């Protein structure tokens, strides 16, 4: 609302709504229709509908609410024409704030659907007179979302306001959130300069010297991503593992990959690699990380993934803690700046840890040590997880628990948890690592590295509570279809 007021849009919006012409708000665009929000307590909303948007309780579940959930129609008006929301469909949600669904007051007059996330039911769409809005993102909800958008564009969606519709009770709103399945594509230039999808074994993307030593080529990025969308992937992640140091940032090939992908793929897209301060080769222009992220978003990305810079940011955070600085957050990190401008749901922290075995916790007194069921090479029964940077080439004196708690405090909205020890092994996810991180943070955690069969996906969800599962090579090589997950 602050931005709408500062840019002079609030009054024209109210005038447009009063004109009776159809208008649709999506996510925050729906939230501004209410009287206010805890996200900006001092900024009044447009006040079209009664109610105040509240923050989810993150002591009982991961926040943001991120993933595919149902939108349950709460009224039975018997209208011949309604927005095309299928109660047997799921739609993509990503939000930390929502309007509680109470079924009281004036809510029966404007609430169209409600959705349950854990112990809370929230309004997931509103519809009254010429105003329609969704908390979820139809443009990122695949075929079901496109059908809804089509119904808004092609149909005169006017809901009569003079009625006393009965609505279902909040307790009757079902919890249907699904675990997300994410297809990941490591993208780099091969030896001929062509952009290809590749996959490494423990981060080595080249075949053996006996086979020629070339970069594995598993397909073209957009073609492969479109295949995964068609096969039912919930999200697509592009991880850029080529620096493109000799290319001005505006010309980096990953921007064009995103533009092409967003024209044919209607699920969330994440881009990782190179989200940091960048100086063009000629030194004429410097791109702050928040501007780099902005270019990615404008090219079609929904989230950016930060790797090495997140480790450095966490180290600075703990240094400020040790030195007694107040406030702890000074706004200097890419995580803070991007989350501040685009929301924490737009920031993923990608972690590349490896096990360091120790004989006892005292041998790593400065780190979070766990007792492991997988002994070390000398029979060690304890280990800690060392964070790495530069694609796993350099270890840091920072453990995973330190990293994820710092990044969550800085404003990250999600953790992409890789494991160097399991990468490319097909031996299953590192359950100890994932369970430990889930216990440490209240933001969603994506399990990555090691999946080799369908049972590995269900195992990691059942035993760790992972919010999403990610795989790459087994999907690229068609060893497991996405539908089997």
Tell me whether residue 232 is exposed, middle or buried, using C-beta atoms within 10 angstroms of its C-beta: 0 to 12, 13 to 18, 19 or more. Answer: middle
* DSSP code at position 34: S
Sole residue written with tokens 């505006």: 250
Among candidate residues 234, 352, 399, 414, the one labeled active-site is: 352
* DSSP code at position 379: -
Question: Is residue 139 flagged as an active site residue?
Answer: yes
CA separation for the pair 233, 81 (Å, rounded): 31
Tally Cβ neighbours within 10 Å of residue 116.
Answer: 21
Alpha helices, H only, 99-218: 107-110, 142-154
Contact between residue 293 and residue 304 where contact means Cβ atoms under 8 Å apart: yes
Among candidate residues 65, 95, 129, 186, the one labeled active-site is: 186
Instruction: Report the candidate in 149, 123, 188 with the shortest Cα–Cα distance to residue 266.
Output: 149
Question: Is residue 383 flagged as an active site residue?
Answer: no
Among candidate residues 35, 39, 139, 295, the one labeled active-site is: 139
Q: What is the rounded radius of gyration, in angstroms, for the C-alpha atoms of the chain?
A: 23
Contact between residue 235 and residue 470 where contact means Cβ atoms under 8 Å apart: no
Among candidate residues 75, 137, 367, 456, the one labeled active-site is: 137
- Kind and range of the H or E run holding 68: strand 65-69
CA separation for the pair 56, 64 (Å, rounded): 8
Among candidate residues 27, 383, 407, 419, the one labeled active-site is: 27
CA separation for the pair 442, 405 (Å, rounded): 9
Alpha helices, H only, 241-333: 253-262, 289-299, 308-323
Contact between residue 225 and residue 238 where contact means Cβ atoms under 8 Å apart: yes
CA separation for the pair 180, 467 (Å, rounded): 7
Beta strands in 129-248 (DSSP E): 131-134, 180-189, 195-198, 235-240
Question: Is residue 419 flagged as an active site residue?
Answer: no
CA separation for the pair 114, 100 (Å, rounded): 9
Return the active site residues. Answer: 27, 137, 139, 186, 352
């Amino acid at each position: 609302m602050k931005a709408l007021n500062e840019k002079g849009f609030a009054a024209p919006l109210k005038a447009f709504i009063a004109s009776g012409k159809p208008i649709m708000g999506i996510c925050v665009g729906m939230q501004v229709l209410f009287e206010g929000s805890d996200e900006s307590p001092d900024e009044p909303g447009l006040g079209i509908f009664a109610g105040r948007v509240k923050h989810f309780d993150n002591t009982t579940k991961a926040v943001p609410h991120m993933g595919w959930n149902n939108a349950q129609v709460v009224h039975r008006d018997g209208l011949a024409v309604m927005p095309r929301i299928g109660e047997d469909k799921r739609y993509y949600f990503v939000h930390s704030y929502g309007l509680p669904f109470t079924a009281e007051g004036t809510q029966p007059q404007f609430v169209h659907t409600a959705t349950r996330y854990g112990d809370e039911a929230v309004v997931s769409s509103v519809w009254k007179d010429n105003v329609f809005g969704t908390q979820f993102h139809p443009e990122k909800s695949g075929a079901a979302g496109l059908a809804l958008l089509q119904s808004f564009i092609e149909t005169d969606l006017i809901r009569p306001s003079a009625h006393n519709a009965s609505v279902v009770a909040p307790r009757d709103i079902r919890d249907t959130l699904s675990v997300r399945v994410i297809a990941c594509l490591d993208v780099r230039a091969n030896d001929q300069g062509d952009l290809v999808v590749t996959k490494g074994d423990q981060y080595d993307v080249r075949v053996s010297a006996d086979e020629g030593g070339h970069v594995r080529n598993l397909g073209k990025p957009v073609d492969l991503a479109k295949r995964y969308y068609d096969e039912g992937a919930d999200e697509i992640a592009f991880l850029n593992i080529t620096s493109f140091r000799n290319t001005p940032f505006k010309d980096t090939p990953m921007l064009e990959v995103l533009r092409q992908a967003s024209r044919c793929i209607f699920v969330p897209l994440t881009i990782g690699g190179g989200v940091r301060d960048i100086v063009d080769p000629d030194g004429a222009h410097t791109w702050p990380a928040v501007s780099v992220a902005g270019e990615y978003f404008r090219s079609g990305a929904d989230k950016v993934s930060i790797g090495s810079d997140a480790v450095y940011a966490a180290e600075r955070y703990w240094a400020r803690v040790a030195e007694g600085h107040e406030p702890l957050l000074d706004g200097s990190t890419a995580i803070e700046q991007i989350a501040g401008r685009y929301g924490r749901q737009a920031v993923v922290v990608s972690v590349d840890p490896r096990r360091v075995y120790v004989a006892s916790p005292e041998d790593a007194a400065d780190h979070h040590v766990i007792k492991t069921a997988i002994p070390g090479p000398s029979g060690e029964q304890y280990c800690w997880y060392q964070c790495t940077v530069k694609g796993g080439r350099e270890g840091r004196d920072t453990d995973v628990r330190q990293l994820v708690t710092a990044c969550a405090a800085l404003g990250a909205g999600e953790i992409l948890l890789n494991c160097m020890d399991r990468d490319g092994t097909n031996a299953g996810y590192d359950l100890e690592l994932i369970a430990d991180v889930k216990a440490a943070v209240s933001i969603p955690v994506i399990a990555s590295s090691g999946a080799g069969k369908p049972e590995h996906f269900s195992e990691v969800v059942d035993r760790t509570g992972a919010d999403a599962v990610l795989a790459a090579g087994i999907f690229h090589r068609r060893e497991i279809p996405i539908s089997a997950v």
